[in-house]
Amino acid sequence: MKTLRLLVSLGLMLLPGAATAQNAPQPGPGPAPGAGPVAGQRLTVDISGGISQPMPIAIPVMPTPSALQTPAGPTDALGSQVSDVITNDLKNSGLFAPLSKGQLKPVSFPQVPAPDYGAWLPTGAQALVQGYVQANGDGTLTVGCYLYDVFSKTEMVRQGFVVKPSDWRRGAHKCADTVYSRLTGEGPYFDSQVIYVSETGPKKNRTKRLAIMDQDGASHRFITNGQSLVLTPRFAPSQQTVVFMSFENDQPRVYVYDVGSGRKRLVVNQPYTTFAPRFSPDGRFILFSMIVNGNCDIYRVSAGGGTATRLTTSPGIDTGGSYSPDGAHIVFESDRSGTQQLYVMGADGGGQHRISFGSGRYATPVWSPRGDLIAYTHLGGGFSVGVMSSDGSGAKDLTNGWQDEGPTWSPNGRVLMFFRTAKGSGKADLWSVDLTGVNERAIPTPLDGSDPAWGPLLP
Amino acid sequence: MNKTTTLLCTAALIAVAGCTKKPPAKLPPAPSQTVTTPETTTTTNTQTNGVTPGSRADFLNQAGSDTVHFATDSSDIDSEATAILTKQATWLQKFPNVRVTVEGHCDERGTREYNLALGDRRANSAKNFLVNAGVNPARISVISYGKERPVATGSDEDSWAQNRRAVSVVPQ
Q: Check CB contact under 8 Å for B111 and A424.
A: no
Instruction: List domains and CATH numbers for chain B.
Output: 54-172 (3.30.1330.60)
How high is the mean pLDDT in each 10-residue block of chain A (459 residues)?
44 32 33 38 64 89 97 98 98 96 96 97 97 97 98 97 98 98 97 98 96 97 96 93 96 95 94 97 97 96 96 97 98 98 98 97 98 97 96 96 97 98 97 94 97 95
Q: Which of B101, B103, B107, B113 to mutate to test the interface with A (most CBs of A within 10 A)?
A: B113
* Closest approach of B69 to chain A, Cα-based (Å): 18
What superfamily would CATH give domain A193-454? TolB, C-terminal domain (2.120.10.30)
What's B88's DSSP letter? H
Length of chain A: 459
Q: Check CB contact under 8 Å for B111 and A379.
A: yes
List of chain B residues whose C-beta atoms are within 8 Å of the C-beta of residue A202: 153
pTM: 0.86
The pLDDT value recorded for residue B47 is 54
Express as a percent the part of chain B with pLDDT over 90.
70
- The pLDDT confidence band at residue B68, using thresholds 50, 70 and 90, is very high
On whether any CB of chain B is under 8 Å from the CB of A250, the answer is yes
- The tens digit of pLDDT for each residue in A236-295 reads 998 889 999 999 999 999 999 998 898 999 999 999 999 999 999 999 999 999 999 999
The pLDDT value recorded for residue B10 is 46
Which residue is closest to B104 within chain A, CA to CA? A294
On whether any CB of chain B is under 8 Å from the CB of A214, the answer is no
Ramachandran assignment for A273, one of left (phi > 0), alpha (psi -120 to 50 degrees), beta (any other)? beta
What superfamily would CATH give domain A5-184? TolB, N-terminal domain (3.40.50.10070)
Q: What are phi and psi of A298, to 5 degrees?
A: -95, 135
Angle at A83 between CA A6 and CA A74, to 5 degrees: 80
CA–CA separation, A332 vs A300, rounded Å?
13
CA–CA separation, B57 vs A392, rounded Å?
53
The C-alpha torsion from B88 through B90 and B96 to B102, rounded to 10°, is 20
Answer for the pair A427, A159: CB distance below 8 angstroms, yes or no. no
Q: What is the ipTM of this complex?
A: 0.89
The minimal CB distance from A291 to the residues B112, B117, B128 is found for B117
Q: What mean pLDDT comes out for the span B147-159?
A: 98
Domain locations along chain A: 5-184, 193-454
Q: Check CB contact under 8 Å for A424 and B144.
A: no
* Mean of the per-residue pLDDT values of chain B: 83
Express as a percent the part of chain B with pLDDT over 70.
72
Cβ-based interface (< 8 Å): residues of B facing A? 73, 108-114, 116-118, 120-121, 124, 128, 143-145, 148-151, 153-155
The pLDDT value recorded for residue A53 is 85
Q: What are phi and psi of A184, to 5 degrees?
A: -105, -20
- The tens digit of pLDDT for each residue in A50-80 reads 556 899 999 999 999 999 999 999 999 999 9
Amino acid present at A362:
Y
- The tens digit of pLDDT for each residue in B3-60 reads 444 444 444 444 444 444 455 455 554 554 444 444 444 444 455 567 899 999 999 9
On whether any CB of chain B is under 8 Å from the CB of A206, the answer is yes
Q: Check CB contact under 8 Å for A289 and B73.
A: no
Largest separation between any pair of C-alpha atoms in chain B? 62
List of chain A residues whose C-beta atoms are within 8 Å of the C-beta of residue B143: 250-252, 273
Closest among A147, B24, A57, A151 to A160, alpha carbons compared: A147
Answer for the pair A195, A453: CB distance below 8 angstroms, yes or no. yes
Answer for the pair A216, A246: CB distance below 8 angstroms, yes or no. no
Q: Which of A208, A335, A339, A343 to mutate to test the interface with B (most CBs of B within 10 A)?
A: A335
On whether any CB of chain B is under 8 Å from the CB of A130, the answer is no
Answer for the pair A391, A373: CB distance below 8 angstroms, yes or no. no
On whether any CB of chain B is under 8 Å from the CB of A287, the answer is no
The pLDDT value recorded for residue A322 is 98
Q: Which residue(s) pair with A154 in the sheet?
A: A149
List of chain A residues whose C-beta atoms are within 8 Å of the C-beta of residue B75: none
